[in-house]
Structure 1
Amino acid sequence: MGKIIVVGGGAAGIMAAGRAGSRGHEVHLYEKNNRLGKKILITGKGRCNLTNDCDVETLLENIPGNPYFMYSAFYHLDSPQTQALFHRLGLETKVERGRRVFPVSDKSLDVVFALEQYLRENKVKQHLDTPVEEILISEGKAVGVRLKKGTVIEADAVIVTTGGLSYPATGSTGDGYRFAKKVGHQVTRLYPSLVPLKTAEEWCKSLMGLSLRNISIQVKNRKGKTVYEEFGEMLFTHYGVSGPVILSASRHLILTIDEGYKLYIDLKPAMDEKKLDMRLLRDFEKYANRDFINALDDLLPKKLIPVIVALSGIPESKKVNSITKEERKSLLTLTKGLPLTITGTAGYNEAVITCGGICVDEIDPSTMESKLVKNLHFAGEVLDVDAYTGGYNLQIAFSSGFTAGEGVLPQGQEE
């Protein structure tokens, strides 16, 4: 059996270390933070959406970035197997809307506890507060690491699972890209993905914190072509918009965001224009003698009313019974397509993941081993693979990590 070093104690690293340890290797896990799984702790607003309860084909459909690279890894460890592993480690899970899987406790800390249990039972030695500075290569093979403090640690193989650039406060500062480039790997252009969007409209600030459920969005390019649409939830922020549908939409825009996009929010997707117009007529009849601004409580969230009134061009003090058909049409158009101008993203500090990474053409998908350097493996967000929201990105981390742990030092190569 060999000595394996895993660099990075996130989802992929813990899974890689645990799996390599279960095969009898001596495994050392090096983490720059003072605890493991720091990014896991903040996922899903601290609840941790750890996977999606679906089959392999559905996983692949939700990966816009190099899906078929993950085909082999998902067959090493798919979603049902991931859930079964967590159950065996003592974590109870539940399935919520969109087949998202969460811990029953709603605490991401319990996911980290289960993963730490996986390390303990496979005798993985943890080295916290221990940043790695360099991967050591000799005669085309990975032979160990040099720590930041200068110590050289020899090994028979190295697995790099250092994450991307998103949420740098958790330690994701691009170390893996540096390691990869130094040994000759290509790193594709990097972008913050699953990221809140900035908008030009100042009125978003007044709606900060307002969450909208059961809305639908459309994103259109400069030519008016719809590039993305989805139904779900969103949130207004002081600089623009966030929430599940916005994060997924961002993945379709980030590569060309400078070209200019418009976002349209349908506040009442369950009603077509005709039905909504009938609804407006009923409300206007009910509140016929009120000022316009006081007649929309049944239709819209309170915080949103002043914004819609201002954008409609209808004087707020105008009596409802004197609103014209054209004015009602203006209100209807706004309700079915509240427009926003996208100006950029909130950047890596708020991005869930990184789009781009180590070129997967240079990685063996069945073992996650570098095709350029023997006994050097990469897994997780450091690779050029990324998915939409819904638990898919953590499944990529778990599956690629597990595959690396299984593929490291195959039979006959162990020293």
Structure 2
Amino acid sequence: MKYDLVVIGGGPAGLMAALQAAEKGRQVLLLEKNKRLGVKLLLAGGGRCNITNNIPDYRVLAKSYGPAAKFLIPIFSRFGVSEIMDFFASRGVRLKTEADNKVFPESNLAADILGVFVRDIKAAGGIIRTECEVKDFVVQDNLIKKLILSSGEEISAARFLIATGGQSYPATGSSGDAYRWLKNLGHTIMPLYPGLAPILVNNSKVKELEGLSLNNVSLSLLAANKKLAVEQGAVIFTASGLSGPAALNLSRFLDFNQHQTFELRLDFQPEITLEDLDKLLILLFSKDNKFVKNSLEEIIPARLAVFILNTSGINENLKSKVISRSQRKKILESIKDFKLTIINFSGYDRAMVTVGGLSLEEVNAKSMSSKIISNLYLAGEVLDIAGPTGGFNLQVAWSTGFIAGSN
């Protein structure tokens, strides 16, 4: 049997594409190499599935993706946040918006999101096959004629869509197969590295802060004395560095292919200027019979206060009123501009996304079709797009899958 469309990859982008095509009356086959569909989708948002981030303005939404913004604007204008929320609501999934505009199903069950696609693809006549691993393609006259499974089976179709994701969370079956296929088909793959992953630093003393969670820290990333990115939000100290939303988002810019070393600067009080914080410290330290540690605890957590004093070479049991001007300046600098050197980030096993991927220059944003292979379409994480944490990367999967499946 020759299909109208074969979708490779049963993740969010592939599921959306298969459903759109099937509901338009196309003969659709969805192939997934795992035993079940949507393995990574079921893990999203801690199993609750953070389906998107509630930013209705598609232009504002697109800016969250950095250099990919221009490519995404026409895509989000056709199928953005409002459309995906309406999509699920119309199919019986009630949604809720939580802190930081994160959108979840009211049930808090990722399985409810996956269930929509399984039910509706089958209802539209689409065929789903699991445990089908694609090994290669047969190409003739700039067209894919058929694909070959690891079993040796050959499958023909008028069109093929690759939505196999990246290399993050390899335990879920994400092995980056598509990058090899696409290279062989003549496409350009931009440098790959883990994104939305914990950051590792060279200061062993941060282990003293392990487990400390701070709600509002500004992180600045520098390389060769040039500021590359700034993220502000929650961070969590680990035994070897930092995690939490702000640190994870910053990791998207850690391209060691371009820079050998990165400097990280932390501002533990981003809402107050350096000058105003200095005035506040003068006031706090003027109080009689208080240890400097206790004075600092009025503006930062106790563990952080002790850490800053220790790294500044100041005895935490000194009385505040005897702190010298130079000591106060050291404390001030440590609070507003604490410096760490980044040595690496956690690997793909702990990364939420893969940064890099198929060059957007080789994809038509209006149809998600390849500019190299006439009957090939692309969607999802295989593309050179990486958004911040909080539902942004699932939105790209839904949107690109919708456009690809609709064409």
Report the TM-score when normalising by structure 2: 0.91
For 1:64, the equivalent position in structure 2 comes to: 66
Code of the residue aligned with 1:156 in structure 2: it is A
CA distance in 1: counterparts of 2:368 and 2:341, whole angstroms: 41
How far is 1:57 from its partner? 0.9
> 1:272 corresponds to which residue?
273
The alignment's C-alpha RMSD in Å is 2.3
Letter in 1 for 2:95: T
Match for residue 189 of structure 1? 191
Contact 2:3–2:156 under 8 Å retained in 1: no
Letter in 1 for 2:235: M
Q: Which residue of 1 aligns with 2:382?
A: 382
Alignment partners' CA distance in 2, 1:272 and 1:372: 52
Residue type of the partner of 1:272? T
What is aligned with 1:227? 228
Where 1:388 maps in the other structure, the secondary structure is coil
Instruction: Tell me which amino acid in the other structure corresponds to 2:77.
Output: Y
Q: Name the SS of the counterpart of 1:188 in structure 2.
A: strand
**Contact (CA 8 Å) 2:10, 2:31: kept in 1 or not?**
yes
1:135 to 134, 137, 145: 137
1:19 aligns with: 20
The answer to whether the 8 Å contact 1:142/1:375 transfers is yes
Q: Report SS of the residue matched to 1:231.
A: strand
Pair 1:363 & 2:363 matched = yes
Q: Distance in 2 between matches of 1:363 and 1:275?
A: 50
Which residue of 164, 167, 183 corresponds with 1:165?
A: 167
Which range moved further: 79-88 or 150-159?
Answer: 150-159
Aligned residue among 204, 207, 220 for 2:206 = 204
Write the distance in 2 (CA, Å) between the matches of 1:56 and 1:190: 27
Question: Match of 1:304, SS?
Answer: helix
One-letter code aligned to 1:232: G
Shift of 1:60: 2.1
CA displacement at 1:398 relative to structure 2: 1.0
Q: Per-residue CA shift, 1:196-251, capped at 9, x if unaligned? A: 2211111222222221102222223332x433223211111222112222222223
Match of residue 253 from structure 1: 254
Q: Output the CA distance in 2 between the equivalents of 1:107 and 1:323.
A: 54
For residues 15 and 283 of structure 2, the distance between their equivalents in structure 1, rounded to whole angstroms, comes to 58
What's the % identity of the aligned pairs? 36
For the residue of structure 1 that corresponds to 2:364, the secondary structure is: coil
Shift in Å at residue 255 of structure 1?
Answer: 5.3
Distance in 2, matches of 1:189 and 1:332, equals 39
Conserved? CA contact 1:132–1:148, under 8 Å: yes
* Structure 2: 5+ residue stretches without partners: none
Q: Which residue of 2 aligns with 1:289?
A: 289
For residue 2 of structure 1, report the CA deviation from its aligned partner.
Answer: 4.6
Determine helix, strand or coil for the equivalent of 1:66.
helix
Q: 1:325 to 1:140 in 2, by over 3 A?
A: closer
Conserved? CA contact 1:222–1:259, under 8 Å: no
Distance in 1 separating the partners of 2:326 and 2:187 = 61
Q: Matches of 2:268 and 2:108 in 1, distance apart?
A: 29
1:360-412 deviation per Cα after TM superposition (whole angstroms, max 9, x unaligned): 333222222223323221111112233233322211111111111111xxxxx
| Separation in 1, partners of 2:356, 2:263 | 24
- Give the letter aligned to residue 399 of structure 1: S
Task: Tell me which residue corresponds to 1:413.
Answer: none
What is the DSSP-based 3-state SS (H/G/I as helix, E as strand, rest coil) of the residue aligned with 2:340? strand
Q: Runs of 5+ in structure 1 lacking a partner?
A: 408-415
User: What TM-score does the superposition give when structure 1 sets the normalisation length?
Assistant: 0.89
- Size of the alignment, in residue pairs? 405
Deviations 1:55-92 (A, max 9, x none): 22112212224333334432332211111001112222
1:39 equivalenced with 2:40 (yes/no): yes
Q: 1:384-399 residue pairs with structure 2 within 5 A?
A: 384-399=384-399
1:258–1:363 CA distance, 2 compared to 1 (3 A): closer
Distance verdict in 2 for CA 1:272–1:372, change over 3 Å: closer
CA distance in 1, matches of 2:236, 2:357: 29
Name 2:101's counterpart in structure 1: 99
Classify the secondary structure of the residue corresponding to 1:73: helix
Query: Matches of 1:331 and 1:360 in 2, distance apart?
Result: 46
Counterparts of 1:399-414 in structure 2, within 5 Å, are 399-407=399-407
Using the alignment, how far apart are the partners of 1:60 and 1:300 within structure 2? 35
Aligned mates of 1:69, 1:277 — CA distance in 2:
45
Match of 2:127 in 1: 125
SS at 1:396's partner residue? Answer: helix
Moved more, 394-403 or 111-120: 111-120
Greater shift, 296-305 or 198-207, is seen at 296-305
Q: Distance in 2 between matches of 1:219 and 1:363?
A: 30
Q: Does 1:309 find its partner at 2:309?
A: yes
